[in-house]
């Protein structure tokens, strides 16, 4: 599974091939290769973000209740010393 950085790299390379390259290669359409890289990069980015968000610890506020009990104890007789 590609990471977010790899997905962004695929998107950037696909966009460059799709929109910026004017050269032609015999037997290969660079515009089509760019479009394929764009689509694969976007899908990989969506999957990476989904996994990151689903496995991240929940950021919900945790409610903790502290119970403090105060009692009046009878005074000690004679003391320890």
Report yes or no on 64 lying in a domain.
no
Report yes or no on 71 lying in a domain.
no
Report yes or no on 21 lying in a domain.
yes
Whole-model pTM?
A: 0.65
Helix (H, G, I), strand (E, B) or coil at 5: helix
Q: The domain containing residue 17 runs over which residues? A: 4-55
> What is d(CA 4, CA 46) in angstroms, rounded to the nearest whole number?
9
Number of domains in the chain: 1
Retrieve residue 79's tokens: 């003391």
Report yes or no on 39 lying in a domain.
yes
Under 8 Å between Cβ of 32 and 18: no
pLDDT tens, residue by residue, 21-66: 988 889 999 999 999 999 999 999 999 999 888 876 766 556 677 7
User: Phi first, then psi: what are they for 29, rounded to 5°?
Assistant: -95, 110
- Give the single-character DSSP code of 73: P
pLDDT reported for residue 27: 92
pLDDT reported for residue 58: 64
> What is d(CA 62, CA 80) in angstroms, rounded to the nearest whole number?
43
């Amino acid at each position: 599974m590609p990471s977010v950085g790899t997905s962004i790299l695929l998107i950037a390379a696909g966009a460059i091939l799709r929109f910026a390259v004017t050269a032609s290669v015999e037997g290969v359409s660079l515009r089509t290769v760019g479009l394929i890289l764009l689509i694969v990069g976007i899908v990989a980015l969506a999957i990476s973000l989904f996994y990151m968000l689903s496995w991240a610890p929940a950021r919900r506020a945790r409610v903790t209740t502290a119970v403090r009990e105060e009692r009046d104890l009878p005074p000690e007789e004679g003391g320890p010393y």
